[in-house]
Structure 1
Amino acid sequence: MRLNDNVNLLSKSLDAYSIRQNAINNNISNSNTPNYKRKDVEFDKILKEMTNENEINIKTTNTAHIGNNDKNMNLEPKIIVDKNTKSRLDGNNVDIDVEMAELSKNYIKYNVVSQQITNAFKRYKNAISGGGR
């Protein structure tokens, strides 16, 4: 694992949560628009599937090398349209209460990942400066 792989993965997570924030805001803004279908961003499920896979693809240039799995660099969030949720009479399926709860969950996830990136850079700084000698 390269030194910055963790930060890259966390950065992709921040991007996904930012995109999800925009999707939720659009849902809230269009809560009274007839025939509007709510949108969501699928990222956590993709990340979980990627980390739970049993097969690890290792890329090496020499049989004596220990490889690195670069699949997380291809990790991209997917915007999905929710057509399964029951619609109101006007065809809109946005529930403000659900959207506000999702907004709060997304805010917490974003802040946790942001804090993890901050802590990673503090560790790098500490390592570079000699660990506080």
Structure 2
Amino acid sequence: MDIFSGTISNLENALGRANVKQKVISDNIANIDTPNYKSKNVAFHDMLNDASIKLDAKKTYQGHIDFSKTRSNYSVVSSNRTSYQENGNNVDIDQEMSELAKNQIQYNALVERMSGKFNSLKTVLTGGK
């Protein structure tokens, strides 16, 4: 039986994505003065995470990949097209700080939602007391 019909699992996945994005943004900020450093971004494959899309597959051979196993659904890509500084670095600190703030707000909202789900579960288990 899946508690909350998969909501906790979806929230956990979203928190993981926010964590990865936080690390990439932090790396960009830390390398703001590194010569020839190219900023990185996380490309998420959101279609695979969309709750409305269900991928049902039937394994016809034991060697086939199991669709229920967790797979990495993102990739870190470098932006090589631009150069903001004379040393070849293309990190835009204003954009990175904006992305950092946006990601932090999203992360906090996800944590609050997860906390609400656990509080609901606690209420059910204690009989509302």
Q: What is the deviation of 1:75?
A: 5.8
SS of equivalent residue, structure 1 residue 105? helix
The 1-side partners of 2:13 and 2:41 are apart by 17
Q: What is the deviation of 1:59?
A: 6.3
The normalised TM-score by structure 1 is 0.73
Is 2:126 aligned against 1:129?
A: yes
Aligned residues: 118
The 1-side partners of 2:111 and 2:97 are apart by 21
The normalised TM-score by structure 2 is 0.75
1:1-21 Cα deviation digits (max 9, x unpaired): 822622122112112211211
Is 2:36 aligned against 1:35?
A: yes
Q: Within 5 A, what are the aligned runs for 1:1-133?
A: 2-3=2-3, 5-43=6-44, 46-47=45-46, 49-50=47-48, 51=50, 56-58=54-56, 70=68, 73-74=70-71, 76-84=73-81, 86-88=82-84, 89-130=86-127, 132=128
Q: What is the deviation of 1:124?
A: 1.0
1:35-92 Cα deviation digits (max 9, x unpaired): 101112223xx23x232866x33469xxxxxxxx958x446332221224x2133221
RMSD: 2.6
% identical aligned pairs: 32
Query: What runs of 5+ residues in structure 1 fail to find an aligned partner?
Result: 61-68
